Structure 1
Amino acid sequence: MTNKSLFALILVGVLVLLGANTVYIVNEYERAVVLRFGALVNSDVQPGVHFKAPFADRVRKFDGRILTADARPESFYTVENKRLIVDSYAKWRIVDVAAYYKATGGQEDVADARLASRVADGLRNQVGRRTLHEVVSGERDKLMTDLTEELNISARELLGVEVIDIRVKRIDLPDDVSDSVFDRMAADREKEAREYRATGREQAEVIRADADRQKTVLLANSYRDAELLRGDGDARAAAVFADAFNKNPEFFAFVRSLEAYKKSFSAGNDLMVVDPSSEFFQYLKNAEGQN
């Protein structure tokens, strides 16, 4: 290899090295700053292709997506002096790259640790102003909203990050008080169940009494209507018989006598001791059926 070729090869290598230290790319999901001999010269580099002073400038890139700071479980006391073990996490992202770099040195784990510490302090304050029921279910959403708004102000100013959301993964009672709390909760539920049963029995008695009353009223009205109909029928029947008797009293007497004969001799072997001259046989003596 000649000296000219070696020089050309060295020149190409220098140019490649110079280009690699001059051009840099920031992706869409990244945030970046440029340092010149350790001093911050560009605090917020936008995504795209950029140039820098070779060897003098250094580019620090950070993840600009939403990140998660997972806090370790902490013990907090409610306003009732009940101890709770709360496991939480926070969602955050960089909004002020310069402040973020100055506060954390661009290290994500440092930002997570500092943010988790502030989340724990905020939770301690929020839990300390509420009862056990409010923390667990009654005002849980409001607690998270208030904590997020409160923490977001200080996080923007001190860390250069935006707290998007804070959530509680789990709330536990300490082992030394969980049994007593569960026993009390069971007693409260049993008390409510007894009250519901008593209310149900009372309502059942009211409904049963009302049904019995309606039954008695319906039976009385039905019996009244039946007696009225029966009386009206008897009256109409008596009127019909009376009208028929008035039209032909002799025939009516004859028919009644025949009915009496039929009932008297229905068995076929009955024995009657009667005066032959009595009125019972008056139509049997006359072949023409005359009295």
Structure 2
Amino acid sequence: MRPFLISIVVIGLLVAYNSVFVVPEGTRGIVLQFNRVVRDDDGQTRVHSPGIHFKIPFINNVKILDARIQTMQTAEQRFITRESKHLIVDSYLKWRITDFGLFYQVTGGNGLLAENILRPRLIDRLRSEFGRLDVKEIVQDSRSRFTAVRDILNSGANEVSDEEIVDGELSADAINLSNNARMRLSEIGIEVVDVRIKKINLPDEISDAIFNNMRAERRAVATRHRAQGEEAAVRIRSETDRETAIMKSKAQRDAQILVGEGDAIAAKTFADAFNQDTGFYSFIRSLRAYEESFKGNTDVMVLSPDNEFFRYMKQPETYLAPQ
């Protein structure tokens, strides 16, 4: 009897264990019955929020799906702008599940499969957007443009004109026209929350060419500045040399004037002295002539003894007498 009761208890515990399931925070749970999604009376998928829930044991299975916003990274892609410039773009996309039952039916609950559907659509849409814009527009209006990319991806549109984008949002007419274009993301049970660009670079070959052009332009500017500097330096030196020559000529002129005035004063002084005492004046002049003539022991002067030059050496007293 006791083994039977033990078996009943064990079976009861197994039934109770298989009747309860826990949905963690940040996830949602859907119940499967024979691998089919269980729906309510309105035909909507029964989605279980975080917490403890019950199910039919051994018949129902529970699939836990992530309800948080997911980030899909993309590899760097080369896009061509309207002015035929190549850009290397690194972008990412954020998405989340909106219909957990539909998402499970389409992807089997595999988020990688959903991203494989999203990734080519994002690349195609970005290629189309970059192709209709130039670099300046991409930089200035990138936020609104990528908001429109999000709406286009959600609506399933293939091509949207600029007129169908109003204030960065896809117009209602464009969304209605795109309903039959191709399968929308809502038919997969997901939606795009945001599209962002992490960085935009130029290809290496274009970057090198741009840098070389920049170097050439800077070199040309530097050469022009050097030439202008040399021209200014030559002009300044020429003006300085001209001013220097003028100043020197004026100084020489003033010096000649002063020398002439000095010579005139000296001549007048000598003349006045000569007029006062001609004998003494002649005597002083002769002494100065002797001093200038005989400066060294090796000086030799060949003159006749009767020459007038030696008159003050012969009888100097006779010439010092008052006249």
Give the letter aligned to residue 206 of structure 1.
Answer: E
Between the aligned partners of 1:221 and 1:91, the Cα distance in structure 2 is 79
Q: Secondary structure at the match of 2:150?
A: helix
1:147 and 1:166 in contact (8 A); partners too: no
Q: Deviations over 1:147-182 (max 9, x none)?
A: 532222345663323225234677659xxxx7xx79
TM-score (norm 1): 0.66
Task: State whether structure 2 residue 193 is matched by structure 1 residue 162.
Answer: yes
1:148 and 1:165 in contact (8 A); partners too: yes
Q: Deviations over 1:181-238 (max 9, x none)?
A: 7998699568747744652453144223223223313422441464266347536754
TM-score (norm 2): 0.61
Q: Deviations over 1:83-127 (max 9, x none)?
A: x58564414242xx3247635644211331232123212222222
Between the aligned partners of 1:150 and 1:288, the Cα distance in structure 2 is 131
Q: Counterpart in 2 of 1:98?
A: 98
Q: CA deviation at 1:24?
A: 0.8
Q: Secondary structure at the match of 2:65?
A: strand
Give the 3 Å change call, closer, same or farther, for CA 212–185 of structure 1 in structure 2: same
Task: State whether structure 2 residue 225 is matched by structure 1 residue 208.
Answer: no
Give the 3 Å change call, closer, same or farther, for CA 200–148 of structure 1 in structure 2: same
When the two chains are superposed, the root-mean-square deviation of aligned CA atoms in Å is: 4.4
Tell me, which stretches of 5 or more residues in structure 1 are unaligned? none
Identical counterparts, % of pairs: 17
Q: Secondary structure at the match of 2:98?
A: helix
1:32 and 1:60 in contact (8 A); partners too: yes
Between the aligned partners of 1:225 and 1:259, the Cα distance in structure 2 is 35
Task: State whether structure 2 residue 291 is matched by structure 1 residue 286.
Answer: no
Between the aligned partners of 1:73 and 1:185, the Cα distance in structure 2 is 20
Between the aligned partners of 1:63 and 1:80, the Cα distance in structure 2 is 42
Q: Counterpart in 1 of 2:179?
A: none
Q: Counterpart in 1 of 2:303?
A: 272
Between the aligned partners of 2:281 and 2:118, the Cα distance in structure 1 is 118
Between the aligned partners of 1:151 and 1:113, the Cα distance in structure 2 is 17
Between the aligned partners of 1:114 and 1:10, the Cα distance in structure 2 is 50
Give the 3 Å change call, closer, same or farther, for CA 241–170 of structure 1 in structure 2: closer
1:69 and 1:112 in contact (8 A); partners too: no
Give the letter aligned to residue 102 of structure 1.
Answer: L
Between the aligned partners of 1:272 and 1:100, the Cα distance in structure 2 is 141
Give the letter aligned to residue 52 of structure 2.
Answer: H
Q: Secondary structure at the match of 1:212?
A: helix
Q: Deviations over 1:44-72 (max 9, x none)?
A: x35xx332434447242217365233258
Q: Counterpart in 1 of 2:53?
A: 51
Structure 1 segment 135-284 matched on structure 2, within 5 A: 141-142=139-140, 145-155=143-153, 158=185, 159-167=190-198, 172=203, 192=217, 195-196=220-221, 199-200=224-225, 202-224=227-249, 226-227=251-252, 230-231=255-256, 234=259, 237-238=262-263, 241=266, 245=270, 248-249=273-274, 250=277, 254-266=283-295, 267-273=298-304, 275-276=306-307, 278=308, 280-284=309-313
Q: Counterpart in 2 of 1:68?
A: 72
Q: Deviations over 1:10-57 (max 9, x none)?
A: 424533552454241414xx33243465132237x35xx332434447
Q: Secondary structure at the match of 1:234?
A: helix
Q: Counterpart in 2 of 1:26?
A: 24
Give the 3 Å change call, closer, same or farther, for CA 286–171 of structure 1 in structure 2: closer
Between the aligned partners of 2:285 and 2:301, the Cα distance in structure 1 is 20
